Amino acid sequence: MKYVDEFRDRELAKTVAEAIRREARPERTYNIMEFCGGHTHAIFRYGVKDLMPENVRFVHGPGCPVCVLPVRRLDDAVEIAERHGVILCTYGDMMRVPGTKQRSLIRAKADGADIRMVYSTLDALKIARDNPDREVVFFAIGFETTTPPTAVAIRQAEKEGLRNFSVFCNHVLTPSAISHILQSPEVRELGTVRIDGFLGPSHVSSVIGSEPYEYFAEEFGKPVVIAGFEPLDVMQSALMLIRQINEGRHEVENEYTRVVTREGNLKAQSLVSEVFELRTSFEWRGLGTVPYSALKIREAHAAFDAERRFEVSEKKSREVKSCECPAILRGVKKPTDCKLFGTVCTPDTPMGSCMVSSEGACAAYWTYGRHRDPVRRPRAKEEAA
Amino acid sequence: MCLAIPAKVVELEDGDMAVVALEGVRKRISTALVEDVAIGDYLLVHVGYALHKVSPEEASRTLALMAEAGVLREELEEITGGEQ
């Protein structure tokens, strides 16, 4: 267990923290956006934030797939389950996310819709096999780590001739979201969000490799360090970013070499491109419409595409009024800037997606950080929609 | 949902499936995304699929950290809860 001790060694953490203090120049600030919700969690859970000098700041990005799914797509999933009487399978994180009028999958289930929480697409396939007379829809969400399992499930359903199985695809892409943030008016024109570098996601990168980040490191002149999700990984990666910023470099560096390679998991990538193709645009919660940022099922596999199999009515979807999730996901606001945070919106009564998922910034603040940063405005009850 | 958990391969099955063992829990997972899986390998498992192989050192380090953070139990519950 030698390695375990090394990576959680307080002395080592202190050494890295000291190096950061030594190298972070006092005359400037270092704004580091962590894209991945796993990093947000590590930063709070292990107090990484407290080990940083004042001028090294973490900006929380939109790296939580539950948080970035727009209400419209969730409403569609609820409608597919209710109107078409299917068995709708989804990952547990999605169950409590509030849709329009606070309607969530768990509420629809309580009202009689057949909605089942699964751990894996393998479980959804089994439900389809066990219920040949019912339509089974897998409500797929997630970044590049969760997409390959969906691709395998579609191929498996084809192989077995499981005609009652389909996928409602909401898979999204990390690099295009990061590019979009860098092109946003907040970053580019208004300068209200300063981003000096990125902590690149760990497991997403294990699938897609570090190569896709090279384009925007070059194009936007921002350094990226692919970081593991352990606290010392995050600290070491922050130090690597500070060094790049000091030296005026903007390269992709890989701190997580024990898992991530430049080319990634080629087998997973080829399965994904065999089954999926790019959507020309997709709406993200908080980011709006982002071109070429999501995947849809290719024509060749259309039989397994729930969007082609089930019609959904054109209806108006609506977020909870006053919920600041969209601004929080862009790094424009902190959870404690939201009027609803900690008052009407808590993990037990979430008003927005960022409070539902354990990887959401609001949930992380609630669990580990709410006593640190004062909530700005407690008077909110009457303003919640 | 985003976490991946390292587990040791104890059995290989047909159709790109394997049984992994972790903390007394055995679970059938898919190895369709990883090449050349052998018994004794450690795999990083995410939503029922191996994403890639990891070294035993990396596996033990990650598991110890997850146990300390209290997320290992949550992940195991999710895995066993998903067992049909």
Mutate one of B20, B47, B53, B66 to test the A interface: name it (highest A CB count within 10 A).
B47
Average pLDDT over residues A28-49: 89
Q: Taking all residues of chain A, what is their mean pLDDT, rounded to a whole number?
A: 90
- Give yes or no for residue A359 having a pLDDT over 90: no
Q: What is the pLDDT of residue A9?
A: 64
Q: Residue A138 and residue A128: Cα distance in Å, rounded?
A: 10
Q: What is the pLDDT of residue A216?
A: 81
ipTM value greater than 0.90: no
Q: Select from A123, A142, A359 the Cβ nearest to the Cβ of B82.
A: A123
- Give yes or no for residue A1 having a pLDDT over 90: no
Q: What is the pLDDT of residue A259?
A: 86
Positive or negative CA dihedral for A375, A376, A378, A380?
negative
Distance of CA B67 to the CA centre of its chain: 14
Contact list, A8 vs chain B (CB under 8 Å): 64-65, 68
Are B57 and A3 a contacting pair at CB < 8 A? yes
Helices then strands, counting H and E runs in chain A, come out as 19, 13
Q: Which residues neighbour A236 within 8 Å (Cβ) at sequence distance 6 or greater?
A: A16, A227, A255
CB contact, 8 Å: B55 with chain A? Answer: yes
| Residue A375 tokens, joined | 């909530």
Looking at A93-97, A312-316, A345-349, B10-14, which range is the least confident one? A312-316
SS3 of A280, please? Answer: coil
Each residue of B14-48: pLDDT tens digit?
999 999 998 888 999 999 999 999 999 999 999 99
Give the phi and the psi of residue B31 in degrees, each rounded to 5: -110, 20
Average pLDDT over residues A263-280: 97
Looking at A45-54, A250-259, A278-287, B75-84, which range is the least confident one? B75-84
Are A267 and B3 a contacting pair at CB < 8 A? no
Q: Select from A3, A92, A207 the Cβ nearest to the Cβ of B51.
A: A207
What is the signed CA dihedral for A348, A350, A354, A358, rounded to 10 degrees? 20
Positive or negative CA dihedral for B53, B55, B58, B61?
positive
Q: Select from B32, B48, B60 the Cβ nearest to the Cβ of A119.
A: B48
Are A120 and B82 a contacting pair at CB < 8 A? yes
The label of the residue with tokens 């969007």 reads: A307
- Give yes or no for residue A379 having a pLDDT over 60: no
What is the signed CA dihedral for B69, B74, B80, B81, rounded to 10 degrees? -170
Question: pTM of the entire structure?
Answer: 0.90
Each residue of A114-162: pLDDT tens digit?
999 999 999 999 999 999 999 999 999 999 999 999 999 999 999 999 9
Mutate one of A1, A2, A4, A367 to test the B interface: name it (highest B CB count within 10 A).
A4
Q: What is the pLDDT of residue B33?
A: 96
- Give yes or no for residue B82 having a pLDDT over 80: no
